[in-house]
Amino acid sequence: MSEESTAVTKLVTPVRVSYTYTPGVATGKFLRGIRRGKIIGQACDSCGRVYVPPRGACPRCASPTSQEVELAHKGTIITFCVVRVPSENIDAELPYCAASILLDGADITLFGLIQECKFDEVRIGMRVEAVWKPESEWEYNLANIVHYRPIEEPDVPYEQIKEYS
């Protein structure tokens, strides 16, 4: 085939854009907290719901969330799945268990990995705690929490958490 009759099937056009990210007031406070080993949420001025990480506004009320709330490092599994396919973004050994976790005192769930247990024992309502990196490695990054592990506490009944599922 001549060059003219060959279809162009692939074209590589690299694009790179760089940013200087500034997180804003609310998320900035959260990141500074994470750097010190604390999980800082914010409560809505109008309905009191607690958001983590906070963005500065309650999405339900469009009110500011000006009250800071330090959250427990313990929470409840709201939902989970066991992942057996690799993903570029997650540096975890396969298979791993990804879960949506409601920290005590929060009204919004955080994403985390569940480890230090058998995956067939993971269940909705299960109590877990955050496992942090060594303090010397803490950065302005939620990845300071490497994973969550089960704790010896009774499961939370579904009725109490169904609003978050």
Chain position carrying tokens 């990804």: 98
Under the binding rule (CB under 8 A), the answer on residue 25 touching other proteins is yes
Residue with smaller CB distance to other proteins, 61 or 98: 61
Under the binding rule (CB under 8 A), the answer on residue 162 touching other proteins is no
Instruction: Check if the beta carbon of residue 63 is closer than 8 Å to that of residue 47.
Output: yes
Closest distance to other proteins from the beta carbon of 42 (Å): 11
The piece of 23-31, 80-88, 119-127, 151-159 that touches other proteins (CB under 8 A) is: 23-31
Under the binding rule (CB under 8 A), the answer on residue 86 touching other proteins is no
Residue 22 token pair = 């500034």
Q: Checking DSSP bridges between strand 127-132 and strand 110-114, what pairing results, if any?
A: unpaired
Q: Which of residues 52-71 bind other proteins (CB under 8 A)?
A: 55-64
Residue with smaller CB distance to other proteins, 13 or 136: 13
Chain position carrying tokens 């909705």: 124
Closest distance to other proteins from the beta carbon of 130 (Å): 24
H/E element holding 43? strand 39-43
Q: Checking DSSP bridges between strand 145-150 and strand 96-103, what pairing results, if any?
A: unpaired
Applying CB under 8 A, among 21, 91, 135, 154 the residue interacting with other proteins is 21
Q: Is 21 in a helix, a strand, or coil? A: coil
Residue with smaller CB distance to other proteins, 40 or 126: 40
Applying CB under 8 A, among 2, 15, 152, 163 the residue interacting with other proteins is 15
Closest distance to other proteins from the beta carbon of 86 (Å): 21
Q: How far apart are CA 55 and CA 41, in angstroms?
A: 9
Q: For residue 82, with 0-12 CB atoms within 10 Å meaning exposed, 13-18 middle and 19 or more buried, which class applies? A: middle
Provide the binding-site residues for other proteins, judged by CB under 8 A: 11, 13-15, 17-27, 55-64
